Amino acid sequence: MPIQEGEKIPSVKLKNTDMSDVTTDELFSGRKVVLFAVPGAFTPTCSEQHLPGYIAQADAIKAKGVDEIVCMSVNDAFVMDAWGKDRGAGDAVRLVADGNGDLTKALGLEMDGTGIGFGLRSQRFAMIVDDGKVTKLAVEEPMKFEASAAEAILAAL
Q: Which residues are catalytic?
A: 46
Q: Which residues contact 95 (CB under 8 A, 6 or more apart)?
A: 17, 70, 71, 72, 73, 80, 81, 83, 84, 89
Query: Helix 77-87 to helix 51-62 angle, to the nearest 10 degrees?
Result: 70
Angstrom distance (rounded) from CA 134 to CA 116: 31
Q: What is the DSSP letter of 65?
A: T
Which residues face 67 on adjacent strands? none
d(CA 17, CA 70): 12
Residues 6+ apart with CB under 8 A from 32: 65, 66, 67, 128, 129, 130, 131
